[in-house]
Amino acid sequence: LILLAKNQEGYKNLMKLSSIGFLEGFYYRPRIDLEALEKHSGGLICSSACLAGEIPALLVNGKDKEAAAAAGRFQEIFGPEHFYLEMQDHGIPEQKTVNRGLIELSGRLGIPLVATNDCHYLNKQDSFSHGVLLCVQTGKTLDDENRMRFSADQFYFKTPAEMRALFTDYADALYNTVKIHEMVDLELSLGGIILPNFKVPDGFTLDSYLRQLVQDGALFRYGSTIPEEVKNRITYELSVITGMNFSGYFLIVWDFINYAKSRGIPVGPGRGSAAGSMVSYCLGITDLDPLKYNLLFERFLNPDRNEMPDMDIDFCAERREEVIDYVRKKYGDDRVSQIITFNKMKAKAVIKDVARVLNIPFAEANEISKLITEDSLADALRNSDDFKNICRGSEKGKMLIDISLTLEGLVRSAGKHAAGVVISKEPLNEYVPLYRDTRDGSISSQFEKGSLESVGLVKMDFLGLKNLTIIDKCVKLIEKNHGVKVDLGAIPLDDPETFSLLQKANTKGVFQLESSGMQNILRKLGPTEFDDIIAINALYRPGPLDSGMVDDFIARKRDPRKVKYPHPSLEPVLKDTLGVIVYQEQVMLISQVMGGFTMPEADKLRKAMGKKIQDMMDQLGDKFVKGAGTKNIDPKVAESIYDHMRKFAGYGFNKSHAAAYAMVSFHTAFLKAHYPLEYMASLLSASKDNTDDVIKYINDCKAGGIVILPPDINRSHKDFATEKNRIRFGLGAIKGLGEKAIESILEARERLGEFKTIKEFLENIDPLTANRGVLESLTRAGAFDSLYQNRARLFHSVDLLIETARRLREDRLSGQGNLFDQSSTGKKTSGVTADLPPVKPWHENEKLANEKEVLGIYISGHPLARYEKEIKSFSCVSISQLSEHRTGNGYSLVGIVGNLKIRTSKNGKRFAVGVLEDMEGALEALFFPDIYSKNEQLLQEEQPVMVRGSVEFEEDTPKKIIVNEIKPLRDIRRDAISSIHIRLETVGIDDGLLGRIKSAIMESKGSCPVYFHVHETKGGERIIRAHPTYNATPTEGLMEELNRIVGEEAVRVSIRSC
C-alpha cells in the first residue's frame, strides 16, 4: 500500500504506523495489520501500489474476488474520497492484466483510478546503474544470469507528457494525481524547540530554579566572595539563556550529570563549546573556569542565532548506560530513544563495490581507490590527473567511474548513532517515526540528527570515554595501594614530573598524546605549561600540519625572539599561542578588539570564515576595516590582519573543546608520571578487548621496567591488578571466560582464601560456569601453573576433570569420601592430578601458541625472543618503529603471520589477508595471489618469517603491509649465520660430551665453521676452530640439539648482514 499524509493528523498517523511496523510487526521487513491500519487511518490517503501490492498481486494470480474484497476493505477503512486504485504502465505484460482488473474494480465498486509510475531511480539513463546497485546489494556480478534484475527500464520519474502518452484514454486517472495534490494540506512545523517537561520544586519557575542552582554553584566554585567579573558573566549568560527560553535545557543536562556524579559515575570536564559557559561551570556540567582560559560563551550560545544549545557529555565508558537508563526512567521509555544513522556509499567503497560487479580484479580496484584522496569522486576528478586518466584510459574505466558517480552517497544501511539520545515532551512517535535495530533490539528514531534538530527535539550525545574509565580505575587503585585519594581537580597544572614525561614523549596511553606523530611534536616542542597542551591538541590536525602552522608554533616556542604579533593591540589575544592564530575564539576576539564587533557579530564572522561563506566574509570585512578605523588603525593594516585571519580561520579549532580535552590529557599524564604501575594496570584493564592495544601497552610496561605477571587462578582478579610493584594479568582478558565464570572463581576464593589443589578448585566452582571451555581456556593461559605445571596433561583431561568435579560435589553432598582422595597406591593425595593419564608437556612453541589463542598475546615468552639479537642484525625494523622510518622504500620485518583469511578475487584467484605480529606490535598483511600461491604452506604454519613489502600509512600510523616477498626465518637465519661458537668449561669436558657434539654436527654437515671457546681454570680462554671436516649447516634442528647438549647460554653464533 501507499499511504500519503493529507494533513497533520495523517502525518502523525503515518509516523505511528511506521513505528508499529518496525517495533511490533517486524518479520524480515516492517509490517502492519489491518487493525493498526484502521486505528490510525485518519488523515491518510491510500492507494493500491505497484505489482507487489496486495490487490495487484491478487489480480495477477486470477483471484478477482479476493482482489475485490481487499479493495472494498480499504475503501471502508479510508472512505471513498481517500482510497485510489493505481494504474501503472512500465511495459510489463502482467501490468496490462492488472490494469484491466483495476478498471473493472473501479467501475464496479466506484473506487477512483489514479495514474502513477513506480520510481526506483530518477532518470531513465539511471536504469543500468540501478542494475549495478542491485548486484552490489545481492553480492552478484553483472554477468551472472541469475542475478536480480528489473524487466524494463521504465522505473523512473516520468514527465507529465510521458504520463499523458501512457494513459491517453484515462483522463480521470491523470487528473486524480492533481486532485490528490490539492487535497494535501500539510505544513510541517520546523525550526521550533520542543523541550521535555522538567519538574522544578514548588515555588520555582524554570528560570528562577536555574538562577538558584547557578548561584549555589558559584559559591561552591569561588567561595563566599564571588569575583565581580564572575558575577557579570553569570548575569549576562543567564539573561541570554532565559531570554531564549533555554533554562529547561540546562536543567535537564544538570540533572542527569548531577545524577551521574552522585552515583560515582565519572563525567568528563567538558566537551565542545559548552566549556565556554560560566553557567555550565557553576552547574557542574563542565569543570573548566572559562574566564581562566579565556573561553567565550558566544561560541556556545549566540543570542543572534536562534539555535538550540548543543551539549555533548563524556561519561565513563563502562557506566554510560546507567545515565541513559536514568533519563529513560525520568522522562519515560516512550519519550527517549537513540538516533539512527545512515551509512552511505562513500567514494572509495563505491569504486570497489562497482568494480566487483563489473569483474574488475580486486587488486586493480584497490589501486584505483588509492588515487582518491578527496571526500568525493567529483573532487577527485577535479584534483587528480591520475584518477581522471582512469576515465580516459578505457571504456571499462569510464563505466566504473560513471556508475560510481551515480551511486555515490546512496544509503547502504541503517545503523545507530554511537552516542546520540533524543528526549521529547510527548511520546516520540508524535514527532518522529521509530525503528528497532534487529541486531540488539534497541529503539532509535527514523530521523537522523539533522532532521531531529529541524523538528525541534532535544538531542544530546552521551559519549562513553574510555579514558575516564581508566582514570577512575587508577584513582581507586592508588587509594587501595597507597592510602592516597587523588583529587584531580586539585593537582597543580605546572607539575614538573608531568611535564618531564610529556617532554620525553613517554605518552603511550596518555589521552590524545600517544600517536607517534604527536610524540614527535612533544619532543620538538618541549611543553612547559598547560596552554601548550591546549595548543597542540588544537594544532594536531591535517590542516595546521600541512600549512606549516605547527612548525611555526614550535619554532616560536623554542626561540621567543621569533614571537611576533600582527598588531600591538592583539598581544593579549595571541600571547598564549605565541602570536599564532590557533583557535576560533581568537578570531572572535580579534574582531572584537580591533574591529569593534559585538560577540554575537564575532561569532557570525567565525562561522563565515570557517565555512568560507564569501559574501558574508566580504560584508563583515568592510565592517572590520571601518571598525578598526575608529580605533585609529590604518586601513591597510586592518585589511592585512583580516586577510591573515581569513587564512588561518579555516584551520582554527574550538578552544573550549581543546582546553577540556587537554585537561583529560593532563590528568592521564599526571597519573602515568606519578603512579605508573596503577595507571598501566588500569589502562590494560580498559583495553583488554583490543589485542593490539594490550600488546602495545605491555611493551610500554616492559620499557618502563614494569613486569607483567601471567594469569594465576589464585592471584588474578577480573581486571589487571597490581601485585608487589608488578602487574598481574586479569581473568577478564582471557578469551572463553564469561562474567559468571569469573564471579564464581572470585567468590570461591573469597571463601577459601585460595585454591591449594586442582581438586579444591573443582569442588568449589559452580559447575554451570566451570564448563569445558572455561577449563580449557584457564589451562591454555597457564592460570593453573601454580597448582600444576603440566598444562598439556590438564588440557587433555578436561572431560575427566569435569566428571571428577561432578563426583566430588555429589560425594560432598552425601557426606562420603571419594575415590580421588587416594592414589593407585592407596596413599592419600593432595588432588586429582595423580589419576590423570600421562601426557608429555607441550613444546615451548605449542605452549606459547595456546597462550596466544586465549590471551591474544604471548605471556610467558615469545616465539621470536630467542632470535631477538639476530633479527636486529638483519637490517629489519620492528612494527613499532615503522612511523620513524618512513623512507618511501620497501620495508623488511620479522614476525609471525596469524589470523589468516583466504579470499577469492573476482578472476578466481586466491589471496590472503592476515596479521603480522612481532614482539612490539601487529600489522595487517596483504598477500596478493602470486605471493600467496608460492607461500601457501609457509603461511599456514604460523612460523617466524621475514617479509618485505610496502607499508600503507594513515597519517603517521602504519595500517597495512602489502607483502611482495616472504621467507622462513629459519632459512634467513641459516644463511646469515657465518660461524657457530660453543663455550666449554675445562672441568666437565669428556669424550662423551665431545662425542655428542660431534655426532650432532655430523648430522648437519655444511660450510659454517665451528669454534670452541674453552675457559681455562686460571681464567683465560682458548679459542679452537674445529677441523673443516666438522663445518656445519646451522639448521634449526642442529641449534636446538647443541642447546640441549651444552645449554642455551653456551651456544652463540656470528651473523653476517642479510
Show me where the domains of the chain are located: 2-119+157-183, 123-146+346-409, 206-341+416-466, 491-669, 675-855, 865-973, 976-1055
Q: What residue type is assigned to position 913 of the chain?
A: V
Helix (H) or strand (E) holding 584, with range, is helix 584-593
Beta bridge partners of 414: 342
Order of strands, sheet of 83-87, starting from the edge strand that comes earlier in the sequence? 2-5, 44-47, 83-87, 113-115
The backbone torsions φ and ψ at residue 1054, rounded to the nearest 5 degrees and listed phi first, read -100, 135
973-999 in b/e form (b: 16+ CB < 10 A) is: bbebbebbebbbeeeeeeeeeeeebee
SS (H, E, C) 913-946: EEEEECCCCEEEEEECHHHHHHHHHHHHCCCEEE
Q: What residue type is assigned to position 123 of the chain?
A: N
Give the other-Cβ count within 10 Å of 104's Cβ: 14
* Dihedral (CA of 501, 502, 507, 512) sign: positive
Beta bridge partners of 121: 156
All 3 cell numbers of residue 104?
A: 473493472
The backbone torsions φ and ψ at residue 801, rounded to the nearest 5 degrees and listed phi first, read -65, -40
Q: How far apart are the first and last CA of the chain?
A: 72
**Cβ(381)–Cβ(408) below 8 Å:** no
Our measurement of the distance from residue 443's CA atom to the centroid of its chain's CA atoms, rounded to an integer in Å, reads 21
Our measurement of the distance from residue 759's CA atom to the centroid of its chain's CA atoms, rounded to an integer in Å, reads 43
List of residues 6+ apart from 866 with CB closer than 8 A: 1048
Helix (H) or strand (E) holding 60, with range, is helix 54-60
Measured CA to CA in angstroms, residue 750 lies from 717, 724, 753 at distances of: 11, 20, 6
One fold for both 123-146+346-409 and 865-973? no
Rounded Cα distance, 607 and 616, in Å: 10
pLDDT value of position 875: 67
pLDDT means per 10 residues, the chain with 1058 residues, are: 96 95 86 94 95 95 95 95 96 93 95 96 94 93 90 94 94 95 92 90 97 97 96 97 95 97 96 96 97 93 84 94 96 93 91 92 85 84 84 85 93 88 93 89 90 90 96 97 95 97 96 92 95 95 87 94 93 94 93 92 89 88 93 92 85 93 98 98 93 86 92 96 95 92 94 90 85 94 95 93 79 58 41 77 91 89 82 78 72 89 80 88 90 90 89 79 92 88 83 91 93 84 92 90 89 78
pLDDT value of position 1018: 75
Measured CA to CA in angstroms, residue 988 lies from 984, 991, 1014, 1015, 1020 at distances of: 8, 10, 11, 11, 16
pLDDT value of position 887: 61
pTM of full prediction above 0.85: no
The backbone torsions φ and ψ at residue 631, rounded to the nearest 5 degrees and listed phi first, read -105, 15
CA neighbor of 418 nearest in space, from 398, 402, 437, 433: 437
Measured CA to CA in angstroms, residue 759 lies from 468, 807, 808, 838, 989 at distances of: 41, 11, 8, 18, 47
pLDDT value of position 829: 40
- What percentage of the chain's residues is helix, strand, coil (to nearest 5)? 50, 15, 35
Return the beta strands (E) in 928-1018 as ranges.
Answer: 944-954, 957-968, 977-985, 1005-1008, 1010-1015
Residue 709 is classified by DSSP as: E
**Cβ(1013)–Cβ(1050) below 8 Å:** no
Pick the CATH number of 2-119+157-183 from 3.20.20.140, 3.40.50.720, 3.55.50.30, 3.10.300.10: 3.20.20.140
All 3 cell numbers of residue 61?
A: 494470480
Q: Is 788 left (phi over 0), alpha (psi -120 to 50) or beta?
A: beta
All 3 cell numbers of residue 564?
A: 611576533
Return the beta strands (E) in 404-549 as ranges.
Answer: 411-423, 434-436, 443-445, 458-465
CA neighbor of 274 nearest in space, from 242, 245, 306, 249: 249
Measured CA to CA in angstroms, residue 180 lies from 74, 90, 183, 939 at distances of: 17, 22, 5, 66
All 3 cell numbers of residue 396?
A: 571499462
Which residue reads 623488511 in cell numbers? Answer: 892
Which string of DSSP letters, residue by residue, matches 163-214?
HHHHTTT-HHHHHHHHHHHHH-------S--BPPP----TT--HHHHHHHHH
Rounded Cα distance, 933 and 937, in Å: 9
Structural Rg of the chain based on CA atoms = 36
CA neighbor of 458 nearest in space, from 269, 641, 256, 599: 256
- For domain 123-146+346-409, the CATH superfamily is Bacterial DNA polymerase III alpha subunit, thumb domain (1.10.10.1600)
Rounded Cα distance, 766 and 666, in Å: 44
Give the other-Cβ count within 10 Å of 139's Cβ: 10
- For domain 865-973, the CATH superfamily is Nucleic acid-binding proteins (2.40.50.140)
pLDDT value of position 955: 63
Rounded Cα distance, 496 and 487, in Å: 17
Residue 568 is classified by DSSP as: G
Give the other-Cβ count within 10 Å of 815's Cβ: 6
Alpha helices per DSSP H over 704-839: 739-752, 758-764, 772-781, 791-795, 798-814
- Torsion (CA) 661, 664, 668, 670 in degrees, nearest 10: 110
Rounded Cα distance, 689 and 463, in Å: 19
- Residue 825, classified by CB atoms within 10 Å of its CB into exposed (0-12), middle (13-18) or buried (19+), is exposed
Residue 720 is classified by DSSP as: -
List of residues 6+ apart from 853 with CB closer than 8 A: 735, 780
